[in-house]
Structure 1
Amino acid sequence: MTDDLRFTIADHIATIVIDRPHKLNAMTPAMADALVAAVVECNRSDAVRAVVVTGAGEKAFSAGSDITTLDQYATPWDFRNRADYCDALRACRKPVIAAVNGYALGGGLETAMACDIRIASINARFAAPEIKLGWIGGGGMAAGLAYAAGPSNAAMMLLTGDMIDADRALAWGLVSEVVAPDRLMARGHEIAAVIASRAPIAAETAKLNLRAAFTMPWDKAIEYERDLQAICFATDDAREGRAAFAEKRAPDFRRR
């Protein structure tokens, strides 16, 4: 691990804080490795049912990869095959919420888009500025923007590199909610707490199902959904949910 990334678990919620505010929470290779390790622990631990990702301080969620570290890779092929923090977040089986404070630029925007739900403070700003430096994003930038904001809005961001504010991000569907800065983390944890109160296996399969809706043909996605439903229906948690409904009480889900 590294001091520049904090990872805690409480009340079934894991919190990952990108903690390098003096560098706008720009990611180093060591921080990427730490984030990969955090996701591995989230996937392994039954104590984790939802994850909140944010940046330390008020200025930035993350400015993406620290550009000063990029020349450390011996070849473009080494750069291509680096440990990618966005890949790590996409590999998280638990639902992930991005609480975006300040700048989400380049890999920072990709980090947010690798999460399942995005909320933002009113001071959040989003950009894909790589084109201004001579390259493009490589952590899912185009795919994430096209899915979230639509092809024209994605093209606007990718081809200009210009920044958009939180209100425009909300209008384009890039984020689900915009809140006051002092409410951001509380709101992120409120959403995570609701998810953590639901049946964990159902939440994880719902996440798989949503991804399938984007990547599979229509008929195959529906077929896959029915398979996932059958798996969920056979769990102890589903039996507990039906019993709790019949007995008019709150269910006690155990991730079994």
Structure 2
Amino acid sequence: MTIASDTELIVVETEGHVATVRLNRPDKLNAVTQEMSDALVRIVRALNDDQGIRAVVYTGTGRAFSAGSDISTLDQYETPWQFRNRRDYCDALRELRKPVIAAINGYAFGGGLEASLTCDIRLAADTASFAAPEVKLGWIGGGGMSVLLANSIGASNAALMLMTGDPIDAAKAQAWGLVSEVVAADQLLARAQELAAIIASRPPIAAETAKANLRAAWNLPQDQAIAYEREMQGITFATDDAAEGRAAFAEKRPATFRGR
């Protein structure tokens, strides 16, 4: 299956088992419109349905990862309730079952920070910066900002970002645990795609289950999380890929995983 975007504002490229999804509105710092959100919903559905795609890289064009929602378009919603019920790009990313790596190439502000937090692994360019600036405009983030930020960097650091709205640089983001790696800007995309290819080489059912299990671990009490993990282990152990992995190990050969 070929994954295609129906808007030039989001570009999708595939190589092997890896898809790269790139916001492509550099003149507006990749600020997301409702049109882009709707397109991302359709792209995520296609990625989930495509068994040939096993990992995804999410990034931006130019000097920004994403400045979040396009503020100039927010008054198009007739009521706050309509705004509340809009189809959100962070919700779309949360529905992506495949492992996803954020390649944060520049500004990750507001909804851009939320989108990066929604990804499973975050890599940043050394020129990247991060902020939750909504408080400066009179509101707060609504795409999971508080819970995801607190889970990543702790309550005190999250409070500092959420209550001041001021940015932090890539070095501090790594020190706080917001990102896993900081690399030179001109090496970021290659590193993200390299890591995605490594993940894509793993058994896809196991990789997707690991993602689902991590999400459960955040949301369940410890005993329930361990019990859930045991059930997921049993399911993955019963797959053809797991049998292939055991056979390849015994026979000292590379395994061939088929997602079955």
TM-score (norm 1): 0.99
Q: What is the identity, as a one-letter code, of the residue corresponding to 2:220?
A: M
State the alpha-carbon separation in 2 of the partners of residues 62 and 235 from structure 1.
Answer: 39
Q: SS in structure 2 opposite 1:64?
A: coil
**1:47 Cα deviation after fit:** 0.8
Aligned to 1:222: 226
**1:72 Cα deviation after fit:** 0.6
Q: What is the identity, as a one-letter code, of the residue corresponding to 2:169?
A: D
1:35 is aligned, of 36, 40, 52, to 40
Q: What is the identity, as a one-letter code, of the residue corresponding to 1:3?
A: E
Q: What is the identity, as a one-letter code, of the residue corresponding to 2:175?
A: A
Note the alpha carbon deviations across 1:149-191, whole angstroms, 9 max, x for none.
Answer: 1000000000000000000000000000000001000000011
The ranges of structure 1 where at least 4 consecutive aligned residues each deviate by more than 4 angstroms after the TM superposition are: none
Matching of residue 23 in structure 1 with residue 34 in structure 2: no
Matching of residue 44 in structure 1 with residue 49 in structure 2: yes
Q: SS in structure 2 opposite 1:93?
A: coil
The residue correspondences of 1:201-216 to structure 2 (distance < 5 A) are 201-216=205-220
1:149 is aligned, of 132, 148, 153, to 153
Aligned to 2:76: 72
Note the alpha carbon deviations across 1:192-223, whole angstroms, 9 max, x for none.
Answer: 01100000000000001111111000000000
**1:9 Cα deviation after fit:** 2.1
State the alpha-carbon separation in 2 of the partners of residues 83 and 3 from structure 1.
Answer: 19
Aligned to 1:118: 122
Aligned to 1:190: 194
State the alpha-carbon separation in 2 of the partners of residues 125 and 157 from structure 1.
Answer: 12
Q: What is the identity, as a one-letter code, of the residue corresponding to 1:245?
A: F
State the alpha-carbon separation in 2 of the partners of residues 9 and 221 from structure 1.
Answer: 34
TM-score (norm 2): 0.97
The residue correspondences of 1:162-181 to structure 2 (distance < 5 A) are 162-181=166-185
State the alpha-carbon separation in 2 of the partners of residues 71 and 47 from structure 1.
Answer: 40
Matching of residue 60 in structure 1 with residue 33 in structure 2: no
State the alpha-carbon separation in 2 of the partners of residues 211 and 114 from structure 1.
Answer: 11
Query: Gaps (5+ residues) in structure 1?
Result: none
Q: SS in structure 2 opposite 1:87?
A: helix
1:158 is aligned, of 151, 162, 167, to 162
Aligned to 1:239: 243
Report the RMSD for the aligned CA atoms in angstroms: 0.6
Aligned to 1:83: 87
State the alpha-carbon separation in 2 of the partners of residues 75 and 249 from structure 1.
Answer: 61
**1:8 Cα deviation after fit:** 2.1
**1:51 Cα deviation after fit:** 0.3
**1:45 Cα deviation after fit:** 0.6
Note the alpha carbon deviations across 1:5-63, whole angstroms, 9 max, x for none.
Answer: 01122211011000000000000001001111111111111011000000001x10000
Query: Gaps (5+ residues) in structure 2?
Result: 1-5
Q: SS in structure 1 opposite 2:73?
A: helix
